[in-house]
Amino acid sequence: MGDMTSTWSPGSWRDVETAQQPEWPDDAHLGSTLETLRALPPLVFAGEARRLKEAMTKVSRGEAFVLQAGDCAESFGDFSADGIRDKLKIILQMAVVLTYASGLPVVKIGRIAGQFAKPRSSASETLDDKVLPSFRGHAVNDAAFDEASRRADPDRLVRAYQQSASTLNLIRAFTKGGFADLNQVHMWNQEFVAESRQGRRYEAMAREIDRALRFMGACGVDLSADSSLHEVDLYTSHEALILGYEEALTRQDSLTGDWYDCSAHMLWIGDRTRQLQGGHVEFLSGVENPIACKIGPSATTADLLALCERLNPRNEPGRLAFITRMGSGSIEEALPPLVRAVRDSEIEVTWICDPMHGNTFSSSGGYKTRRFDDILGEIKGFFAVHQREGTVPGGVHLELTHHAVTECLGGSEEILDTHLSERYQALCDPRLNARQSVDLAFQVGEMLQG
């Protein structure tokens, strides 16, 4: 691992400056909580993270496509078996749309089972002359605007772990226990989607899939024998933000002796915490999981090359993804120099498009929102740039929900400014609702065909 091998340890991030850490009021309480976490079982296994790394290697060669999606921030309040099932439905539905259109396998990665911590632009929030610490995600504090809710509470880290464990347990049951069987393709179309135009388009596609399966069966192919038709892998991911938590779940693999952050299969560094000498880069440089780094408009080519050197010194394919989030108006100027610099240095990275975080603005009614057309526009720009530069558009990174929310504007449902107040439930950033998500999947599928 370059010249870092000798000095890296799961706790070496503590020796450098680390942005975006909460102000925990009681160090002893934090310390005992981290001890508790250290004693709890890993959420994922090293072997699974290695499998994802292999899948990411295929993605980087254009032999597969990534769908990374889920909430901006998971919630302690919105947690139920039906909710997890419906989150899974929307991801399975989008993945099958993308696969059917492109003929490529889709690597499914949830922003799920651990996405509980948020970086903030400002450490405090002011409302009616009252100043309180910002909301940092349910792993840290609560969103309600009062002193007790906003106090950072380490017990929440254990609760985040527990909710992640329960979520992952159900995901494993659903993805391996028949629910994700391709014969169930109709069942993934939840009611709110089914009654819409894109839901009917999905039904038509699902019938084609049925026909294809029947055809292969009639030709004598034993469909029951092939597990890839009956099970899927849904990998987990979140922003590795609260490093005390990530460190406590970092374990040495008994097979290889390597360190893995066993809080999720993939971890990413946010756009606000990608300082080369900062704690987040230091921490993720030493774990062997597949990792990603968000890249916003302020990133330079020198930043990217240095990040590759720190985060992927062995130039290992599948190890590092750059998730670009430039904004639909900037991507066609901002992305090409970065892509060229990495390409010309023969550096192995996977490029993923986050069309959400560069396209956020406040509506006239004061709601944080995004336009469906900007989201689609950034993805189009992303494909166009990679097409021109001869590089691989590896996937999309989306904030979405299975709920029938009104948080993002537009789409074929024409959600307008005046609709935002109807069902705005986001804990942090505005998410695509299930119809908008399926709509987007069809349109990205067409881009992949083209």
Q: Contact 97/202 with Cβ under 8 angstroms?
A: yes
Chain positions 406 to 435 lying near Co ion, rule: CB under 5 A, are 429
Q: Which of 209, 243, 229, 21 is nearest to 105 (CA)?
A: 229
**245-279 burial by CB neighbour count: b if 16+ within 10 A, else e?**
bbbbbbbebeeeebbbbbbbbbbbbbbbbbbeebb
Name which of 170 and 352 has its Cβ closer to ligand PEP: 352
Q: Please give the residue whose beta carbon sits closest to ligand PEP in the complex.
A: 270
Rounded to the nearest whole angstrom, what is the least distance from the CB of residue 109 to ligand PEP in the complex? 13
Binding mask 20-59 for Co ion (x = CB under 5 A): ----------------------------------------
Question: What does 294 bind: ligand PEP, Co ion, none (CB cut-off 5 to 8 Å by kind)?
Answer: ligand PEP
Name which of 310 and 325 has its Cβ closer to ligand PEP: 325
| Residues touching Co ion, count (CB under 5 A) | 2
Question: What does 153 bind: ligand PEP, Co ion, none (CB cut-off 5 to 8 Å by kind)?
Answer: none
Rounded to the nearest whole angstrom, what is the least distance from the CB of residue 241 to ligand PEP in the complex? 9
Q: Which of 160, 10, 165, 111 is nearest to 432 (CA)?
A: 111
Q: Which stretch binds Co ion (CB under 5 A): 68-76, 121-129, 216-224, 372-380?
A: 68-76
Q: In this structure, how many other beta carbons lie within 10 angstroms of the beta carbon of residue 365?
A: 12
Strands 320-324 and 291-295 come out as parallel
Chain positions 72 to 111 lying near Co ion, rule: CB under 5 A, are 72
What are residue 133's phi and psi, to 5 degrees? -60, 145
Name which of 391 and 436 has its Cβ closer to Co ion: 436
Rounded to the nearest whole angstrom, what is the least distance from the CB of residue 341 to Co ion in the complex? 27
Rounded to the nearest whole angstrom, what is the least distance from the CB of residue 442 to ligand PEP in the complex? 24
What are residue 193's phi and psi, to 5 degrees? -85, -45
Name which of 394 and 445 has its Cβ closer to ligand PEP: 394
Question: What does 338 bind: Co ion, ligand PEP, none (CB cut-off 5 to 8 Å by kind)?
Answer: none
Question: Should residue 71 be labelled a site residue for Co ion when binding is judged by CB under 5 A?
Answer: no
Question: What does 119 bind: ligand PEP, Co ion, none (CB cut-off 5 to 8 Å by kind)?
Answer: ligand PEP
Q: Contact 392/62 with Cβ under 8 angstroms?
A: yes
Q: How far apart are CA 242 and CA 247, in angstroms?
A: 9
Task: At 65, list the tokens.
Answer: 């496509």
Q: Contact 112/70 with Cβ under 8 angstroms?
A: yes
Question: What does 343 bind: ligand PEP, Co ion, none (CB cut-off 5 to 8 Å by kind)?
Answer: none
Rounded to the nearest whole angstrom, what is the least distance from the CB of residue 325 to ligand PEP in the complex? 5
Q: Which stretch binds Co ion (CB under 5 A): 67-75, 155-163, 253-261, 319-327?
A: 67-75
Name which of 179 and 239 has its Cβ closer to ligand PEP: 239
Cα dihedral 162, 120, 250, 149 sign: negative
Contacting positions for ligand PEP (CB under 6 A)? 72, 119, 270-272, 294, 325, 357, 429
Question: What does 325 bind: Co ion, ligand PEP, none (CB cut-off 5 to 8 Å by kind)?
Answer: ligand PEP
Name which of 72 and 262 has its Cβ closer to Co ion: 72
Name which of 86 and 271 has its Cβ closer to ligand PEP: 271
Which residues make up the interface to Co ion (CB under 5 A)?
72, 429
